[in-house]
Structure 1
């Protein structure tokens, strides 16, 4: 049977569109049998008998239903176990890309994990290595972002160190294993994130301000540099000695450590400082060259510096000359399991564990959304929460540091990686290092690991000036305050205090924004039925000025361009009403009644006489919902207006709002006002009256007692006043 010739696009019939658009209605649908829509050969053509034109037989498209019962297990499981979405398609090409990405990451992340554990968390290096080795294996199963790489993070490790170090310092047991504390912190972090994911609280990342995260990261970067300088200068033993002596200065906050550095700088160790300076210069030089020459992006300069310093330390035995090294790492061939359910430790470390969860969640979500935008991926914050929670709970049994996603290493991984198998390969190589190569870490100088931390700290704060400049140019006063509060509280108190104060201020901003009513006073453009916002910004004289006595931007009423309807206040409520903003609505309505503007300062003298407000017209075009608290407030408001002989009218009321207005009694109150305006009498007279004013008021309401347009309400008011006269 010969196939019919392919028709030209001119002869293809399309479904006519009832809309004003000339575009045809799309009824294409993706089928299992022809998912490749670009293949024209998969479309079936049929010839009509009326003419030579052809039509394409598309199946009728219907929007995807949200009915869970209609889904098959083959569709459900890949959503909750993302590894099933790619494992059947995995091939040699994918494996080569993942292998290159995984091995590249090992050279970058191994020395970093050593630095995080030793310098920031103040725990054995095995904790950082387990975090780097185990977390990616679990993320391979539950992770939904192919390019994401999870592992220990600098800010989180620093929080762990500040939580664990005081407990170890004051512990009576000298042989206490620090990983017991780490296990509890990691478990609390994982359990918190898993609970958030199962409770579908992923939307919380939209509440936290980006300026809060930037401020915290900048503060952490400064703290990392301060801590690293102490070790690079060889002053760590002196710091511990002074801290243990009650007669010496108290050293708790990062600012205290700065004072310590200034007072004891002359006691530095020359060998440690020389090694640290050489390592710092090499790493920073390579980073500068990488920015200039893109071909060097995969150069593992950190690994090279650490390996070279370790070999030289072993050859010249710098450890015998007083240089601090990692030393012998406690490790046995049998994995040691820890109990993360110790209730006493949970009570002591609960706050720190929850803080790690919040910071890690926000940082990981930022990374996943950035990767999703770059690679056009559908990102689910809830699935990422489940993945992060699961891998941290699993890692807690091995004493691993909390692990989260990082944007920097994920960008490097994205160069060649195809799936989450890349991170798993990095994890397997790390576990191999733990089992076979751990003894070779003996001669790693701690000053070199501190140099690595200092470089990471510099990279964390290098974006801060650009962020502040952007906020300054765009008038982001609240963002700058959030940034400054977080940074200064972190430096002068603690990391926990910095994030807590910054978070409180951000939540206050969120609450203020949600509780602020956005009502508008409407004025009519002369000789028209067009009503617009009458409040316009008032240009400051002499440049931008900050008025600390006013909580709003200065505005004025545009009397020149807009005419105010005599005796009427026309109010637009362009938002849903709820208990959060209904109280502020009353305050602003009172300002409108007294001053004719929503932005007038409450200390101003009254500019509108009581007799100027006889009618209040509410335009509810954009108010698509109202809760019971707001309905009660509106009823009390209208009742109060009626006591003062002020008539109220509602315009453009959404159908979704009408039932609660009926049940709350507001509809009956509005009908009473219509009776006072003689609306129903006017309807009886309209058919037989020769008065044009009365005829114009026939059938003004679309659904008793709601009007369709502001001009219809004004027609009724004009007719009512003419009848009185």
Structure 2
């Protein structure tokens, strides 16, 4: 057995801080040796010593080397890390990257990292506090950040374009063709049957919006486009603003398109402003029961709305004015006039619905065994076959409604029209609330879709709620200039995009190009498309919106979540019996009230000692018996103090003083004696911040205690005098009221101090 280690020479210790025994933690995390270091035998394991250049890394090797020779990667801040090998748009190859300078990308965009005066001017103008800290961090790591690094963060296309490879092209193009075959007919149906605008503006929603999102979006595989809920809300504005008997058909089409552009423009502007104001946290405000209740209600409303044209009762419903009524009114109309059903129309719609549902179920069951079955364009085939049969069998002459001529309302395609004109002011006022609902619902649905797709497939692009708002808002603002339907992300569409091989936003660009070609060359072939087929496709969407509700209902029943079930029922019933607007407004209002109630409730806890230990726990959360300290009331404040949660702080403290628990009803007489509260100890470790209102309430509480002769102690308070919480407590007079010596490190120290002061007073 070896003897004790020799004593450490303190003269050398100032220069050598290595431990006598190397840390096993660092050994266990030593990176593998570099390829070509000569240790090919152990290239797949983590050795304890790693070659770096001509030296070897050991426990004393610094994590950041001063040597600048050779290529290195610095993660996010490394200019080379944003350009993978074999880039299509200027990325370097493997051989080239070894010989390039550390600050060069080898492409066009790398010229932005130079030292020209205008670049320094741009850098100063776009610099923020976080960028300043990042620059210091980059400088410590031995390299310099560039303005282009931050520009590529806010404009993601500058990032993924550099990294695009030829190998991505096939998957992106196939995904775009697959989505076009599925969703372009759906866009025609959404525009014609739900939004009540000319069908071409549904196609516009797949031209401008996905292209803009591909440039600015932070979810590379998400594809935005018109959705059933947003289209239905646009239709409610159109129906409420346009008199059904006023003007001829062409004038009505132009007016409908203008209203669609105004609604989409306001929705886009709201989302854009929210993104610039960094309100991305709003995606966590509305609860899942709210979304489930509203989406299920939308599915039910859509199903009832589409049942009228599927039965061939659209003309009769227009005569009786049922289209402006609630879903209950429409159900009554259907029951009353079911005998007037057009049999051929109902047969076409029913067969189309059954075929699509059968293929949908077959895909779901066979997709795990045969992944390629997901690419089968069943809806596209239904549309093509039905159009051919309609033309060949003269269904139009037999009473089946067809889509007819698909053209722009004003006659010219891609006509630019600014949505916020003074002439549109009456539409803006009437559509304000509905546009807000479209923006809110669209953002939440897009957020859910983006999160469900998982992490980004492109290095350097990370999902950001604020940037998503900016991208979605800009896309809809641009689309509204051409009167396109509002477009947001959808999980089903984005999942199809991902599973069919898409890797980058280039699939959205291809989808936009295919949509442009469809508008330019394929519009005449849409003439014989039967409207019952389009209605049946939308009915399938309605079914998908409703089918998840039973699972959520059974879950909340199992856990007895009566509040969640009540919220879902209130939204659903108000939507069914009155309108979508009331259902959405009611749901948002209840959700915000629940959030406010949750945020304003003080979460202070009384603490007691766990027997035989120095741990202090809340007796209300433990089954074991907790020891209360005689003459002391220990109160834990586990959260920052703000104006929101300090309104009832005094009342909650009073309840703890009287009863020793927050669960007692205030009607009970006092249980704890005054002597039990002669020392109040606040554990404020969780108070990481305070605002002015919270500080004022705390000062009033401390002052009242001191006037009653109660000693106040603060445990685990901030130690540094430059800490914002300490400065507020000092400036407000709380420190002077208690005495600085009453600010201690932990609850044990506070208890010892109370014992000492009690002993001094008794002498």
Which bin holds the TM-score, normalised by the shorter protein?
Answer: 0.7 to 0.9
Shift of 1:182: 0.7
Structure-1 separation of matches of 2:589 and 2:497:
35
Q: Normalising to structure 1: TM-score of the pair?
A: 0.83
CA deviation profile, 1:496-544 (whole Å, cap 9, x unmatched)? 211111111111111111111111111122344332112137xxxxxxx
Structure 1 residues 594 and 252: CA distance shift in structure 2, 3 A? same
Are residue 312 (structure 1) and residue 389 (structure 2) matched?
yes
Which of residues 283, 287, 290 in structure 2 aligns to 1:209?
287
Shift of 1:269: 1.4
Equivalence map 1:279-428=2 (5 Å): 279-294=352-367, 295=370, 296-331=373-408, 332=411, 334-341=413-420, 342-373=424-455, 378-415=462-499, 416-428=501-513
Q: Cα deviations across residues 58-94 of structure 1 (Å, max 9, x unaligned)?
A: 6349997742776313313322221221223333321
1:189-239 Cα distance to aligned partner (Å, 9 max, x none): 111122122222212112222222222111111111111111111111111
Q: Tell me the secondary structure at the aligned position of residue 517 of structure 1.
A: coil
Q: Distance in 2 between matches of 1:215 and 1:386?
A: 27
What secondary structure sits across from 1:321 in the alignment? coil
Name the SS for the 2:346 alignment partner. Answer: helix
Q: Partners in 2 of 1:253 and 1:17 — Cα distance?
A: 81
Alpha-carbon offset, residue 472 of structure 1: 3.0
Q: Secondary structure at the match of 1:449?
A: helix
The residue that corresponds to 2:742 in the other structure is: 705
> Are 1:76 and 2:150 matched, yes or no?
yes
Q: Mean Cα displacement is larger for which, 178-187 or 370-379?
A: 370-379
8 Å contact kept, 1:524–1:565: yes
| Residues 157-212 of structure 1: CA deviation (Å, up to 9, x unaligned) | 01101111221235743323111111111111111122122222212112222222
State whether residues 16 and 25 of structure 1, in contact with CA within 8 Å, keep that contact through their aligned partners in structure 2: no
Contact 2:220–2:457 (8 Å) recurs in 1: no
**CA pair 43-187 structure 1, distance change in 2 beyond 3 A:** farther
Superposed displacement of residue 378, structure 1: 1.7
Which has the higher mean CA deviation after the structures are superposed, 252-261 or 37-46? 37-46
Deviations along 1:441-472, one digit per CA (max 9) or x if unpaired, are 11111111111111100011111111222233
Report the aligned-residue RMSD. Answer: 3.1
Q: C-alpha displacement at 1:626, in angstroms? A: 2.0
1:659 to 707, 727, 730: 727
Distance 2:488 2:224 in 1: 5
Q: How do residues 518-537 of structure 1 correspond to structure 2 at under 5 angstroms?
A: 518-536=603-621
Task: Identify which of 21, 26, 31 aligns with 1:23.
Answer: 26
Does the 8 Å contact 1:620/1:650 carry over to 2? yes
Question: SS of the counterpart of 1:86?
Answer: helix
Compared CA separation, residues 111 and 630, structure 1 to 2 (3 A): same
Which 5+ residue runs of structure 2 have no aligned equivalent? Answer: 1-16, 35-42, 67-73, 78-129, 136-143
Contact 2:27–2:59, Cα closer than 8 Å, also in 1: no
Aligned position for 2:301? 223
Residue 167 (structure 2) aligns with:
93
1:28–1:59 Cα contact (<8 Å) kept:
no
- Corresponding residue number in structure 2 for 1:168: 242
1:551 corresponds in structure 2 to: none
Task: State whether residues 372 and 379 of structure 1, in contact with CA within 8 Å, keep that contact through their aligned partners in structure 2.
Answer: no
- The answer on 1:121 being equivalent to 2:126 is no
Query: 2 CA distance for matches of 1:58 and 1:534?
Result: 47
Residues 398 and 228 of structure 1, relative CA distance in 2, 3 Å threshold: same
**Separation in 2 of the partners of 1:358 and 1:60?**
49
**Could you tell me which residue of structure 2 aligns to residue 241 of structure 1?**
319
For structure 1, the residue ranges without an aligned partner over 5 or more in a row are: 1-13, 32-36, 244-248, 538-557, 672-702
Query: 1:28 touches 1:60 (CA, 8 Å); kept in 2?
Result: no
Within the candidate set 635, 639, 663, 1:575 is matched to 639
Partner residue, 1:724: 762
2:648 corresponds to which of 565, 574, 584:
584
Q: For the Cα contact (< 8 Å) 1:106–1:426, is it kept in 2?
A: yes
Is the 8 Å Cα contact of residues 193 and 388 (structure 1) preserved in structure 2? yes
For residue 505 of structure 1, what is the aligned residue in structure 2?
590
Does the Cα contact within 8 Å between 1:372 and 1:378 map onto a contact in 2?
no
Q: 1:198 aligned to 2:276?
A: yes
After the TM superposition, which residues 88-167 of structure 1 pair with which residues of structure 2 at under 5 Å, given as runs?
Answer: 88-167=162-241
